[in-house]
Each structure stands twice: as C-alpha cells, then as structure tokens.
Structure 1
Amino acid sequence: MNDALKSCPFTLNTTRICAYDELDTSIEISKIGFNNMKPNAVILVNKDEVFDGIAATSLVHFPINASLLFTDGNSLNEKTLGEIERLSPKGYNGVQVILVGNISKNVSFALNDHGYRTKHISGRNYYDTACIISRIRKEFNNILIISGEDYSEGIIAGYWSAHHGDPILFVQRNRIPNCTIDAIKKMNDINIYIIGSTKTISKDVEYYLSGLDNVKKVDRIGGENPYEIAVNFSRYNDTKTDFGWGRNYRGGHAFTFGQLNEPMKIIASVVFAHMGKHTPLLLIEKDKIPEVVNRYINLIKPIQPKGMPKPPFMHGFILGDVSNISYKAQKMIEGMLSIDQHMMNNENMEGMTGKMKDNVMNVDKENMIMNNGMQDMNENIEHDSIYDKDYIFEWRNLGYRKVNVDEIL
C-alpha cells in the first residue's frame, strides 16, 4: 500500500477528505462540492479565525450559494487563488469574493488586481462581524446563539446555517454583547435556538432572551458534552418553525464526522450540509467513537429485510487523514453505518441456538423499542418540545424517560 492510501484509506460507506492542512482541506471540499457548477460567490476567511469562520457559514446558503475557502491573514494564498480561478464565481449583487472578518486589505487588493470584485464584511471583532452578517441575510425566522468564548459546543451550528441560512450570533456565558442584543431587537417575531449547555451559556442569558418582546420562542439544544449536543441537534426538529435536522427515524442518512481539535476543517466542510447529502455534523475522537454517537447511529440506520440489499444506505464524510482520525476509528464508523452486518446476523440466525439466538433477538428488540420511542417523540413534538424549559427527553437503552431538565444540563 502506498503512502497516500495508508494516510487516506477507503471503506465502503465512508469518504475521507485528506489534505495537508485546513487551507488545503477547504480547497479539496470546494472541488468536491462545486465540481460541475459555478458558485455565485466565494466566501473567504482567515485560516486562523475560528469564530469568523463559524459566523460566515450562513452566507454559504442560497441565494449567495457560495464556496467557503481559507487564506492567510495578511496575503492571498496562491493555492486559494488557483481554486477561485477554477470556480470562476458568477457574482452575487456584483460581488464575486466576500471576505469575512479579520483579513488584511492586501487580500482584497490582490483579488482586485486579478479582476475579482470584492466585499469585506468585518466589525470591530467577531461578535460585531456576526451581527453584520445577520443583517445581510435579511430573510429568516430563526437565529442560533452560541458561545463566543468556547467553540466546542456551538461549532455544529455552522452546518445548519449553511444548510438553512439561519444566522449565528455569539454571546458570552453570562453576558450578551451590545451588538447581539441590538441585532435581535431589530428582528421581527424571531425564534431563538441556543446551541450549548449551561456550561457555556448560562440560564440567565436564556431568561433574558426569553423576555424580549419581539422573541416568539427560545429553546436550548444542550447535553452533557459536545458529542451529545451534536447528536441532540441532529435529531432535533421543531415543525412549527421549520428548524432542526429531524434525523430521528430509520432511513438512509449521511453525516460528516470531525474532531474538535481541527475546528477549521470542520468549518471548511459545511458545504456538505449545503449540497449533496446535506449532512449534519457528528463529533468523534481520533481513536474512539463516543457511545452516544454509536447508539444514535444504530437507532436510525435502516434495517434491511431478507433478500437483496437495496437503498436506503448510510454514508459518512471523515475529515482528515489517519493522523486526525485513525483507521481504527474509521473502521468503527464503517461498522456503525453498514447495513450488511445486521443482515448477516439475521441470515445467521438459523445457525444459532439457545442463548446466542436470544442475545441477537434482544438487541433487535431494544432497537425496536428505542425506535418506537423516537417516533412517538417526533409525533408529539408540536405539543411538547423535547427541549422545553421544564423537561427534556433523555434516551436510555430501552427508550426514554421524562426527567427534570436540571438533571441533565
């Protein structure tokens, strides 16, 4: 096996995005997402600015329909320029490249010299920049609130913003910046979704937002850790406001898998949420799949009847080579996503007797009970949000129970 295959191995139900660094990752993903069509614009972000990147994700969505690329903070990277030239963006309101946040004017000048029309969206800091972006988006009914101090719980929000166009605003744990308050107050009948636990965004912030006259609803998607929060967001759906992925049923689902110590690679991959398989983000570790992710995937993946395998199938995009996410972890992802293993178990049932057969049947029974509980939750969500102020549904091996939110958050 050559070095490339060793660092970027294949499995049946996964696609690895292998690149030298986050800048190259953004280029590779742009090539995948826009291989046979032109974007209206390119969004350009400093490769070292995580929160600028998160704020920029809503600009990827229509009507801008943009590729998201990175560059150096003080100069235009030659490889990035090469990808912009390949993309040949058509232009959105006369602009072909939109620079976001902390990037030197030298980058705009270099792009202008190459014939590209540019616009620079930047405030005094990334809090301000996010507020400016929310005004540019204009038409939306929902906004996402995440921590501007710790990206670990809120970075998943960028995938929904790229998918649906809802903008992201930043707060601190116990304080809401003035620009964020002003931006919200200027919105009409807005729904607010807090992404993160009370470890990063306090209940006081939530209560303040709930008290604003123009805010129709405030809901929190939380959890014990970033892995659980990502799962909870993936299955969340508010049918009244058209918010949330709603990946809470058995079917052919696709996800992007990333790890938190590579945040810019995660941000670069939001195009996968905007186009193609429209993937939510699930978080994993280099050599390990968190149990909450494993349980979730096994709950929603399709169970094939006997006979010839047929769609729907599952798929996963893996961000980085084996130095970022190991081959061991990739094989675990493959095992979670594959429908073949379950079919083989069913086909081998005839060869099992006694306790072995009972064990396999018990696993299927548990999955069935959990899936029925998930369907009940989805049917009742219009009446009782799973993240309302008083309660949250907590999943267990044999379904869910209703517990006080203070036990969980």
Structure 2
Amino acid sequence: MITIFSIGVIVGCSDHGAGHDETDSSKEDTSKHEVHNGTEVETGSLLHLNTKNVTRLNSNDAFEVSVMTSQMIWPATHSANQPGTIILAPFENWQLALASLNLVHHPNDGPVLFTDNGEIPAQVMAEIQRLQPKGNVDGTQIMVMGELSDGELDKLNGYQIESITEVEPAAFAAEIDHLYGELTNNIPSSVIIGSMEEKGKLFSIPAGSWITHMDEPILYVTEDEIPEATSMALQKRNGKAAIYVVGPESVISNTVVEQLGAYGKVIRIAGETPEQVSIEFAKYRDHETNFGWNVVSPGHGLVMLSTEFPELAITAAPFAHLGKHAPMVWLPDGEFSEEMHNYLADLKPTFVNEPTEGPYNHAYLIGGENLVPFKVQGFIDEMLEIVPADGEGHGGHGSHGH
C-alpha cells in the first residue's frame, strides 16, 4: 500500500477484548499538536470533532458506539421512528454479531446493541428502555443472539423475546437465514459467502453493510471447507443461488469456490487487502441480480473505520439501513491511503452553476482520534466537498456583472 502520509495510532488499540478502554480514550491525546500548512493546530481546543462533510461517532467504547448508532438512526421521538425489534449480539463473537445484521432491516427495523460476555451493559439496557421497541410481525421486541448469563434475561421482563442460542458460527448463520425466511416468507436467491476464521475477519465484515440494507444473508466457510450447515442452507436455493464470495484466495480457497459452484453461480469480490475488498464491495454491482452498492459516482454516504477496531463496523452497519444508506470502507490502521484517495476522487461531487445543485457526499467516521486522527478526517472532508465542474474554485459561482 502506498500511503500519502503516515500518522501512527496515538494510543495502542491492539486489545479491545472488553470493548471498553480503562480511561475515556475517545478524549485521549486531543491536546496533541499537528502540523497544518506550516502552523500548529491544537485539536484539544475543538468543541467537537464533526466537520461539514463528516460526522464522527467520537468513542472507542464498542458498547457506547452501539448506543450512539442506535440514537442517531432511531430517535424514537414518535412511533414512526421507533424500532420494531432490537438485536442483542455478543461483542466477543464477531461471527455471530456479523451474521445477526441480516435481521436489522425489514421486518425488524432495529439496531444491533452489543452484549458483554453474556451480560447486558447498563448503557445498553438504558437504550432498550428509551427505544421501547414496537415489535416485528410476530410481536418480537428483542432478539437475543447467543447466550446471556443467568439472571440477565430477567432484565428484559415485560418484552417479548426470541433467543437464538446457537454459538457455532456456520450453524448460527444458517439459523439466521432460516429465521429470516420464516419472518418474510421468502428465501433470497442471492447469498454472501464470508470467512469465519480470524484471518478472514476484516474481509468478511464489509458484507455487513449490505446484509443490513438488503435481504441477502451471509453464510460462512473456512479457507478449505464448506461446513455442513452452510451446505444445507445453500441447498434450499435449488441450484439457482447467486453466490458472492468476499475476500481473496488466501482466506477462501479456489477449491471452496469451485465446490460452491454446485449450488449456483459464483462470483468472487476480491482484493489483496481488507481496504481493497471494502472498496471493491462498495463499487460492485451485479446488474442481473441487482446485488451490490454500485457506489461509483457522486451523491452517496460512506461509513469509514480503522481496521484497528473492526467490531465497531458491525454495530455501525445500520447506517446502511436508513438515512444515507451508506456502505462501509476500511481505513488501514486509521490512515488515508492512495487507494482511498483515488476512490474518493472518483466520487468527487461537482456543480455547474451553483453548489446548491448537489449532489453531496457524506461520511460517518466511527471511533476516536487514537483510531482515526483528526488530520485524516480533514483529508476525507476535503475529498467529499462539492467543487465547480470547471475547476475554477468555490468562489467562481453565482451572479457576476459583465
């Protein structure tokens, strides 16, 4: 990867096992000085970290980010913007949490809130009480993914609950596919295949935005094997599945891709790095099946995150469901790469007469400054800004005397 500039992660982010930092790390190091046009800018003097084209969820706490996402997308000020069903997914099991995203959209229309090793954090419980979910077509208000510790279900007394206690990733994903089919009376013909191994984590997670947005599920394989549960789920498509494999051969082998051909048409969405795969996924479109984002022109939203804390992408995936319907792309180690620069350049919005013509781009940036420095946000904001099509600069529009 060629990096336009290199900004190291200010605080080590290698251990996010609990989802919480010991201190308020979203505010750490904001007094650091950064060089900008030959002058020093003290980011600690900023009152907030939002910019005109970038909205930042300024937290490195996974549970807090899940609540922040929920509050932005479901204000719950009245019935129309209350969720139907809340999905409680285990932070510590990314495979289950990722597959759960298939239940975010119709008919549930609700957020994924993280549980913590079988417990419901206080801030998550407070968000459940704030949302007061209306229930889906079956009346279910809360879906519990995986297992909760003894007594934790008691916190949910008064809500109609459905629990999926399976914890093996391939079997769990297949069960989600089955549950979705029952809720909607429909078996989607298209399927995403992702790796359930740790080395495939960053390659699989970009699929989460799409399954949050549309009805296709994610099913799991390993590098060299199709689990029985995945095979059985694919068999329900009667050999007519459209199968989209996410990731390079290093995480899902060509042997597995060939075996998947028994269940339908197989297409690999590839790239050598997680960033490349995320960009290719955002750009991809199968015009025969209408699968894929096709974000290749101006007028779109994006969710942007550092590869240092991938779980945040899972709970932020509902930004693909409502609002700007934004797919996610990776910032490798929180940096702004040449590949991302080139992708955003392709999306650059321009106007002919007035900037009010649009279209506009917007990004949701997830995580604090130690994950994605404010300077990186500044580059992103600039790349998203609408500019004159003639290249004359922003001051070159409007009425002028002759």
Query: What range is the shorter-chain TM-score in?
Result: 0.7 to 0.9
Match of 2:74 in 1: 34
| Equivalent residue for 2:255, pick from 195, 204, 213 | 204
Match of residue 13, structure 1, among 53, 63, 82: 53
SS at match of 1:316: strand
Across the aligned residues of Structure 1 and Structure 2, the Cα RMSD in angstroms comes to 2.2
Show the 5 A alignment for 1:151-190: 151-188=201-238, 189-190=240-241
Q: Distance in 1 between matches of 2:190 and 2:372?
A: 33
Q: Which residue of 2 aligns with 1:371?
A: none
Q: CA deviation at 1:333?
A: 0.6
Partner Cα separation in structure 1 for residue 361 and residue 253 of structure 2: 36
- Counterpart residue number, 2:243: 192
Question: Which one is further off, 156-165 or 304-313?
Answer: 304-313
Alignment of 1:334-345 (within 5 A): 334-340=381-387, 345=391
The aligned counterpart of 2:286 is: 238
Query: In 2, are the aligned partners of 1:143 and 1:167 still within 8 Å (CA)?
Result: yes
Residue 96 (str. 1) matches residue 155 (str. 2): no
Does residue 320 of structure 2 align to residue 277 of structure 1?
Answer: no
Deviation at residue 8 of structure 1 after TM alignment = 4.7
Instruction: Give the CA deviation at 1:117.
Output: 1.6
Deviation, 1:74, is 2.8
Preserved contact between residue 305 and residue 334 of structure 2 (Cα < 8 Å)? no
Return closer, same or farther for 1:13/1:347 CA change in 2, 3 Å cut-off: closer
**In the alignment, structure 1 residue 24 sits paired with structure 2 residue 67:** no
Contact 1:54 1:158 in 2 (8 A): yes
Deviations 1:205-255 (A, max 9, x none): 00001123xx2x11110012111111111111112112000112x321110
Task: Please say if residues 308 and 334 of structure 2, whose CA atoms lie closer than 8 Å, have aligned partners that are also in contact.
Answer: no
Q: Does residue 255 of the first structure (1) align with residue 255 of the second (2)? A: no
Q: Secondary structure at the match of 1:257?
A: strand
Q: CA deviation at 1:79?
A: 1.2
Kept after mapping to 2: 8 A contact 1:122/1:132: no
Q: SS at 2:211's partner residue? A: helix
Question: Cα deviation per residue 1:357-379 (whole Å; 9 max; x = unaligned)?
Answer: xxxxxxxxxxxxxxxxxxxxxxx
Q: What is the Cα deviation at residue 128 of structure 1?
A: 1.2
Question: When the two structures are superposed, what TM-score results if normalisation uses the length of structure 2?
Answer: 0.80
Paired amino acid for 1:219: I
Structure number with the higher helix fraction is 1
Is the contact made by 1:256 and 1:281 (CA closer than 8 Å) also made in structure 2?
yes
Seen in structure 2, the aligned counterparts of structure 1 residues 144 and 8 have a Cα distance that, compared at 3 Å, is: farther
Q: Gaps (5+ residues) in structure 1?
A: 351-409
Output the CA distance in 2 between the equivalents of 1:164 and 1:5: 41
Partner residue, 2:131: 87
Instruction: Name the structure 2 match of 1:122.
Output: 165
Secondary structure, aligned partner of 2:244: strand
CA contact (8 A) 1:46 1:103 kept: no
SS of 1:181's equivalent?
helix
2:23 is aligned to: none
- Mapped to 1, the partners of 2:334 and 2:162 lie a distance apart of 41
Please give the alpha-carbon distance, in whole angstroms, between the structure 1 residues aligned to 2:330 and 2:47. Answer: 20
User: Distance in 2 between the 1:170 and 1:127 partners?
Assistant: 5
Which secondary structure does the structure 2 equivalent of 1:151 belong to?
helix
Task: Please give the alpha-carbon distance, in whole angstroms, between the structure 2 residues aligned to 1:9 and 1:349.
Answer: 26
Count of matched residue pairs: 343
Deviation readout 1:74-94 (Å, 9 max, x if unpaired): 322221111001110011212
Deviations 1:139-167 (A, max 9, x none): 21211000000211110000000000211
Check conservation: 2:49, 2:58, Cα contact below 8 A: no
User: Is the CA contact 1:8–1:322 (under 8 Å) kept in the aligned structure 2?
Assistant: no
Q: Give 2:392's match in structure 1, choosing from 340, 346, 358.
A: 346
Q: Secondary structure at the match of 2:112?
A: strand
Equivalent residue number for residue 134 of structure 1: 177
- Report sequence identity in percent: 29
Q: Which residue among 295, 302, 317 is the counterpart of 2:364? A: 317
SS at match of 2:302: strand
Q: Residues of 2 paired with 1:226 and 1:324: CA distance?
A: 16
**Larger RCO, structures 1/2 (Cα 8 Å, 6+ apart):** 2
Q: Partner amino acid for 1:136?
A: L
Q: Which amino acid aligns with 2:386?
A: I
How much has 1:183 moved relative to structure 2? 1.3
Does structure 1 conserve the Cα–Cα contact (< 8 Å) formed by 2:275 and 2:332? no
Counterpart residue identity of residue 142, structure 2? V
